[in-house]
Chains A and B, each alone.
Chain A
């Protein structure tokens, strides 16, 4: 009996301790696992979306070699929308952030206008002296009204058209870049070629991948799209947006589209299956095409300047350092190195991401790409970048674009008429922005 009682008392105490432990564990703050700085070793975490290509181009290895003791860990999310959601949740919660975060140009206005306090001002860390290295527009977009620099530019997205020479040949269309550029000097010319292609190629292969991507490329040629300079939402009365919309609807109604929603598995598969012959091609798309079409696609693709003025920009990114990073200094040093002229030039040659660093633009003028039939990508994209307008960016640019491309999906996949689809887009935008 005494022993039993003693045991009972012991288990009671044990139970109490275990309970307290469980409660403490439940309430304890999950300290974010930043690396230890023992013996000068630093681990810098980098969180990106899509394909930045740093790892693929061997830039991390090179940096680690140059800076002994530094280890770089990268994580990446394929779809930028998913990445942005996760980043916002982490910013709100204040945990789980990487030392370096990528930011897409469509979100940069949201960062500078709504979340400036959540990112390090890179100016005092040493970015002040770098301003002249970048194109003025790229620099200005990441600067707050009170002059803080929240990110350094990586790439920009000058646009061209990528096309399949083998499919063009089968359909009896010319494959020469200059000849094509002349034939599709206007968007109507581009659609006209599409109708010719459709007549020959039949049902197996379409002229373009989706009218949503066609729309995005066209609207990328405009200075003012969804917001005006004062930050007012103007997409509904903007004639340029309407023109891009009408042209996309026309393409859908003429049956020129493969009706594939961008960034879906079906779209990815289509790069190798030849379901479409042309695709609007911002420079960063080159890396994506190489990834999806693989080695089998080498030499089958080519690039020609964009219709309608050969100038336009879609996308591009920044690297930023969130507040609270344990290695803000080291992280900035990495960002500065990755966005420097030499590295941006290397990345363009390897991955196709077009540099925003002026020094790099200068040095890649004569680059050609064997994967794309030795197309002079340096010249084509360089000319497009130079002629591109400085775009007005708004807080909800990404959301508005998403709603409009969704509505265009209805037109091409369900045969919804233009006016109804546009009203759906408007309703969607109100719902997203309101």
Chain B
């Protein structure tokens, strides 16, 4: 099917012989590309666009899951209530701090790993596959294992810290400790994935550049700074955008870390995604949950625009130099 779809449209046929049949067939030929892309757009409309718009509609009402038939008009009240909601601001702050703590070291480590893997190493394929393994692990499985490792009384991490003479850390209750624990899971899962993307970007940088740099007497470190990094700019931008979106939507790890929809006893690691879930499926306030969903959506769009603008300004500066 794909073969015929990509085949060029047959040249105009002799008009006399096929005149009566031609118009519908030509119409079909003209419409067929649309038919082929229609499945995606139909599915997107049903499962992407419609939910998005319906969520916006629901966010203007008071709707409870237990009585979905009774919708009470609230206008923008769900949104203004959020502004006065301490739990919302806590969740926003947590999302930001966990996002920074998990994304920044993650991308730096990925960059370093990719640089190492770019050398000719023995067993390179093995290392590359190994790096992708965490990414292939399910969030649930990884989080449950990490929750055990970070256990307060019998966890491996505290046992190791104990050997070093550091007292047991309560990785669940403390704000900083719990956020570090959750960030560790995210970092563990995504570092390898980003490293492979960086690696692909590095391999597309022409080798002559490195040769030229070497002739000029540039050290490995200088080569990395002045050849690799500028060449990787579009790739870095891509990973930053994807990581930002991922960090803003973070949900599975904090939910399963203790199995608490509040993100711990004092909401200490509750992210925006988790707060939405708590409102919608913990307390069944669907209207409020929809409002949080839309705020998150707008936030993601703004962050991505900001990232892109910053990166563009930097690269323009770079080329001017």
Contact = CB atoms under 8 A, between A and B. Distances in A.
B203 interface: no
**Which of B4, B68, B85, B265 has the most CB atoms of chain A within a 10 A radius of its CB?**
B265
Nearest to B261: A81
Interface in A1-49: 1, 4-5, 7-9, 11-12, 14-16, 19, 22-23, 26-27
A182 interface: no
Contacts of B281: 85, 88-89
A26 B35 contact: no
Interface stretch (A127-135, A224-232, A408-416): A408-416
Contacts of B154: 266, 269, 273
A11 B173 contact: no
Nearest to A27: B46
A51 B218 CA distance: 69
Given A88-B66, A431-B85, A406 B265 contact: yes
A110 interface: yes
A15 B43 CA distance: 16
A15 B266 contact: no
B23 to A, nearest CB: 15
A424 interface: yes
A97 B138 CA distance: 27
A89 B266 contact: no
Contacts of A409: 173, 265
Interface in B224-274: 258-262, 265-266
Nearest to B85: A431
B147 interface: yes
Nearest to A1: B10
Interface in B174-188: 174
A73 interface: no
B4 A23 contact: no
Given A8-B4, A115-B66, A427 B258 contact: no
B153 A19 contact: no
A242 B47 CA distance: 49
A15 B65 contact: no
A431 B65 CA distance: 16
B236 to A, nearest CB: 38
Contact of B266 (A12, A14, A85, A414): A414
A407 B173 CA distance: 12
Interface in A381-433: 399, 406-407, 409-410, 413-414, 416, 424, 427-428, 431-433
B36 A26 contact: no
Contact of B38 (A14, A19, A432): A19
A261 interface: yes
Contacts of A259: 152
B67 interface: yes
Contacts of A414: 173-174, 265-266
Contacts of A8: 4, 7, 10
B318 interface: no
A15 B265 contact: no
A415 B209 CA distance: 60
Nearest to A431: B87
Interface in B130-181: 147-148, 151-154, 170, 172-174
A266 to B, nearest CB: 6
B39 A22 contact: yes
B32 A15 contact: yes
Contact of A432 (B28, B36, B260, B282): B282
Given A12-B32, A15-B32, A89-B281, A410 B42 contact: no
B10 A92 contact: no
B152 A266 contact: yes
B283 interface: yes
A79 interface: yes
A92 B42 contact: no
Contacts of A406: 262, 265-266
B284 interface: yes
Contact of A114 (B35, B43, B66, B153): B66
B86 interface: yes
B283 A431 contact: yes
Contacts of B151: 265-266
A170 interface: no
A89 B65 CA distance: 7
A213 interface: no
A410 B66 contact: no
B68 A92 contact: yes
A264 B259 contact: yes
A7 B36 CA distance: 17
B265 A275 contact: no
A85 B265 contact: no
B1 interface: yes
A266 B154 CA distance: 8
A261 B265 contact: yes
B282 A85 contact: yes
B272 to A, nearest CB: 15
B36 A15 contact: yes
Given A5-B10, A16-B35, A409-B265, A399 B86 contact: no
B265 A26 contact: no
A9 B18 CA distance: 15
A427 B66 contact: no
Nearest to B151: A266
A264 B10 contact: no
Interface string A59-96: 00000000000000000000101000100110110000
Given A16-B35, A264-B259, A92 B66 contact: yes
Nearest to A26: B46
A28 to B, nearest CB: 12
Contacts of B32: 12, 15
A399 B4 contact: no
A280 to B, nearest CB: 19
Contacts of B172: 261, 413
A406 B7 CA distance: 65
Interface string B91-111: 000000000000000000000
B4 A110 contact: no
Given A15-B1, A19-B35, A406-B262, 13 more contacts: A12-B35, A85-B281, A88-B65, A88-B66, A92-B66, A115-B67, A261-B258, A264-B258, A265-B147, A410-B173, A428-B262, A432-B283, A434-B285
13 contacts: A12-B35, A19-B35, A26-B42, A26-B46, A27-B46, A88-B281, A88-B284, A92-B65, A115-B67, A264-B258, A275-B153, A399-B283, A431-B85
Top 8 nearest A-B pairs (CB, nearest first) are A409-B265, A413-B173, A406-B265, A432-B283, A11-B4, A114-B66, A85-B281, A92-B68
Interface of A: 1, 4-5, 7-9, 11-12, 14-16, 19, 22-23, 26-27, 79, 81, 85, 88-89, 91-92, 110, 114-115, 259, 261, 263-266, 269-270, 273, 275, 399, 406-407, 409-410, 413-414, 416, 424, 427-428, 431-434
